[in-house]
Chains A and B, each alone.
Chain A
Amino acid sequence: MTDPGMFEAFVREYQDMVYAVAVRLLGNPVEAEDMAQTAFMKAYEHFDAIGASPAAAGWLKTVTTNLCLNHLSRYRSRWRFFSEMPRDDAEEATPFELAIPAPAPDASARDDADQQDALERALQGLPDHQRVPLVLFHFEDKTYQEIAELLRVSLAKVKTDIHRGRAVLKAVLTRTHGSD
């Protein structure tokens, strides 16, 4: 049987990592906490095998990623429908440029923390079809090909979605960083 004390230490060690993966993939803190909990429940079921394993972090990341993608797949048809509709770049960028407040006139208020905060919010606010591949590429170190296989979409779509997501984030950076 699994020792609850040992498992608590295990959760304490990996909770930030698991939550970070979930919240970046889902863009929703409440759902991310639910997914993180589910991932740890799965870890508990296999704790005898993975508890002391050096591969525990990788195992948890994979499980959390799959759980989040499964969670998102409930909306997959809607996701594909909207993401594959032809849209011009101006239309694409509009919601986030409006959502990000204009920089304060006082230059001292625009420090690194503000920029990181704005970028994180913009990342979490991206639509699923842009945020998920972008997070997998930048934070989970997946290749375009791996992302395409994981999401069961074409390679071209992955590239396009990441490009569009990056364009939104660049716009946020430019806004929060001013013209320097």
Chain B
Amino acid sequence: METLPRVEKREAMARSSFFLQKARPVILRYGIAAISVAVALGLALAAQRYEFREVALPLFLFAVALTAWYGGAGPAVLAVALSIAFFDYFFTEPLYTFYVNRSDIPYLIVFIAFASLVAWFSAVRRGVERDLFQARNRLQAEVKERTEQASLLNLTHDTIFVRDMDFIITYWNRGAQELYGWAPDEAVGKRSDELLKTIFAVPIDDVRAELLRVGRWEGEVKRTKADGTQVVVASRWSLRMDDRERPVAIMETSNDISERKQREEQIRALNLELARRSTELEATNKELEAFAYSVSHDLRAPLRHMAGYGELLQKKASSVLDDKSQRYMSMILESAKRMGTLIDDLLAFSRIGRVETQKRLVNLDHLVKEVLSELRQETNGRDIVWKIDALPTCHGDRSMLRLVFVNLLSNAVKFTRKQPQAKIEIGRKEGNEDEIVVFVRDNGAGFDMKYVDKLFGVFQRLHQTDAFEGTGIGLATVQRIIHRHGGKVRAEGVVDQGATFYFSVPKF
């Protein structure tokens, strides 16, 4: 890094001198001719005064050479012309005239030839120097660029290394060190296939053939790191050619895909498992459907017959039956009726699991109002204090959510029956950002938290049938509906002090 500023400075200097040469104005260039010839003249005159002989001509030649060097060809011609004029005027007989003696003509011709030669040499030399200068600058720029590229290669996270056609590693970047564990000085000079113990998924000859044919190869290979662990990499090879199109090196970039491979494996396994389960589930669902159908049709029929014939028997024999037998009769009928209700409830429950939910925006306020008016028959003549908060809209299946409120509210009404004044509260609780939590609280019979796990089970009841009627399927239905909506249910209760049921539904 330290060399970089120096290189830059030198290059800047070279660039500015080149720039001066190029753009040196015409006046300045010809000025050089005039000035250098004038100076030569001055010096020659001074030398003459001090009795030095034959100095004038070399001085003018020197001025011509200087002008050719710094001013170029045109000014050099001017310098030659000026030199001849001054020489002729000041230093050849007759003095102080431009008259040229015949005997001086060869002398002048030799001078012109010599001056031209000097100018030409000077110009050629100048040109050569300029070319060299430019070549140097280009070279410097290229070196700088290459240096930067090389350091960039080293900066990438990708693994890059280069090897010659004999598999000898010639370049090894930091990414390669990080992935495989060898430092550049440990790797460079070794055979890549021996160092990395590369295992190809396809025959190596195919790889080589493709590489030579299209200049590239891509694929996955397995390698062994410095610490002995195996790694799977996605590898890309590019062939480098020399200027005669002969392959000289292979550059390889690669990424560690061991984790991705592993995850892909896992995902594939999970997908298989999922497919298996879903087939199973589908089969189970079909069975369930057949079962529900059979329950719906085949179990109800004999039940109806029992009830029917029992009823007929009761009517016909009521006059001859004693009180006890009458009671037995009505017990049989009551049981048949209860079984009918159980079957119907169970069917409704199983239907929730089978039908598609049709989700849309549901205004819970309206829903609660509807359900309350539906429950009027049960609430008539009861002293119930309702506290109903404003509820938001949510996303769900309206008829199913309605069933949730029907179950929770009729439960609340039912289990507060023994309170002189029932208090039932419907409210909203803060939940996550994307869900709505609604609760129904009552001051009724409540339950023991010990049995909270049983509360939402099918046919689970925490009260005696003669205290509170019911089939024990209402809360199971609530749970099933809420689960199908992706929400949760929970309950809190204290015996004889009331219960609170919470459920959450998604906002969107």
A binds B: no
